[in-house]
Amino acid sequence: MIRLFVVVLLGLSLAAPAETDAAKRMVLFGVDGMDPTLLQQFMDDGDMPNLKKLAAAGGFMPLATSIPAQSPVAWSDFITGMNPGGHGIFDFIALDRETMLPYLSSARVERSGREPLAIGRWRIPLSAEETVLMRDGQAFWEVLDEAGIPATIFRVPVNYPPIPAGERALSGMGTPDLRGTSGIFSFITTDPSRQSVEVSGGEIIVAKRTGTVIGAELAGPANAFLENAPRSVVPVTVHLDVEHPVALINIGDQRVLLNAGEWSDWIPVHFQMVQ
């Protein structure tokens, strides 16, 4: 899939700390997958007035994308100033030459060779896994850090784990989830015809309905404390109201009451590993 991104460059004359009165701050604003031609059209038509104000206050320019035109490649070009031959990111996925299986190209979980201690069905890990950033090259904020210029890096893709430098960073796309993937959704339904449907980036869970109660399980990370590391699960129960379009949803120890078509807030879910 072709991915284009545009950067809005803002030179802001903000009040700087007293010790650097002559300094000016700069904001780089990048949007993944945004077509600069359409954005320019929407700004000209008045459909995106806030971005139009930002562009007028600083600078707005389209950037040529990477080869291949894919998000992790383009962002790695942007971060390092190098092409894929330099930073080593050529695609969303890369190939493990030993197992011939694909893995996420931007970051990889490396496991120690030490086997866990086995006690019956229990396993006691003797070492920890480590997530390694697969992108090579020096990020532009590392250059800023070496020059004593502070930077805040917010949700920039292909930056997990964050590069150890003086900047403040919150990683974006490419940050692994609890399962070690780039993000997997779970879609729970009572429609049995969905059982055989294959989806990309997630899984469909067909729940069982008994009267007004729907039951299913939400899968979490592998439980490394048990033999064969089975996936941990949290029970999900939905109680339907036969008279009103309302449902009471129990997820683990959390309870949520929702109307039909309503979205809940974020719900923290706890996966019990040792009982």
Structure confidence by residue, pLDDT tens digits, 54-109: 888 887 877 788 999 999 999 999 999 999 999 999 999 898 888 998 888 988 88
Q: Does the residue 272 lie in any domain?
A: no
> Which range, of 10-19, 191-200, 224-233, 251-260, averages the lowest pLDDT?
10-19
Burial (0-12, 13-18, 19+ Cβ within 10 Å), 99: exposed
* 8 A C-beta contact, residue 88 and residue 66: no
* 8 A C-beta contact, residue 222 and residue 194: no
Q: Does the residue 267 lie in any domain?
A: no
Asked if residue 125 and residue 19 are part of one domain, the reply reads yes
Residue 28 scores a pLDDT above 90: no
Mean pLDDT of the chain: 85
> Which range, of 30-34, 50-54, 60-64, 115-119, averages the lowest pLDDT?
60-64
Distance CA 151, CA 148 (A): 10
Asked if residue 218 and residue 94 are part of one domain, the reply reads no
Mean pLDDT of 262-272: 92
Distance CA 12, CA 122 (A): 57
CA–centroid distance for 28 within its chain: 20
Q: Provide the domain limits for residue 60.
A: 5-171
Distance CA 143, CA 124 (A): 42
Asked if residue 205 and residue 98 are part of one domain, the reply reads no
Asked if residue 70 and residue 109 are part of one domain, the reply reads yes
Position 84, amino acid:
P
Distance CA 89, CA 83 (A): 9
Report percent pLDDT > 70 for the chain: 91
Asked if residue 127 and residue 13 are part of one domain, the reply reads yes
Asked if residue 194 and residue 138 are part of one domain, the reply reads no
Q: Does the residue 154 lie in any domain?
A: yes
Q: What is the pLDDT of residue 8?
A: 44
Residue 175 scores a pLDDT above 50: yes
Asked if residue 19 and residue 93 are part of one domain, the reply reads yes
Asked if residue 149 and residue 16 are part of one domain, the reply reads yes
State the total domains in the chain.
2
Structure tokens at 248: 């009471």
Asked if residue 214 and residue 157 are part of one domain, the reply reads no
Asked if residue 203 and residue 135 are part of one domain, the reply reads no
Distance CA 112, CA 40 (A): 50
Q: Does the residue 268 lie in any domain?
A: no
Q: Does the residue 177 lie in any domain?
A: no
Residue 3 scores a pLDDT above 60: no
Asked if residue 199 and residue 152 are part of one domain, the reply reads no
E runs forming strands in 96-164: 102-104, 107-110, 117-119, 122-124, 130-133, 152-156
Q: Does the residue 128 lie in any domain?
A: yes
What's the whole-model pTM score?
Answer: 0.73
Q: Does the residue 270 lie in any domain?
A: no
Mean pLDDT of 10-17: 38
Q: What is the pLDDT of residue 101?
A: 87
Asked if residue 203 and residue 124 are part of one domain, the reply reads no
* 8 A C-beta contact, residue 22 and residue 36: no
- Residues 6 or more apart whose CB falls under 8 angstroms from that of 259 comprise 245, 246
Position 151, amino acid:
A
What spatial distance separates the first Cα and last Cα of the chain, rounded to whole Å?
45
**Alpha helices (runs of H) in the chain, residue ranges in sequence order:** 36-44, 49-57, 71-80, 84-87, 140-146
Burial (0-12, 13-18, 19+ Cβ within 10 Å), 105: buried
Q: Does the residue 109 lie in any domain?
A: yes
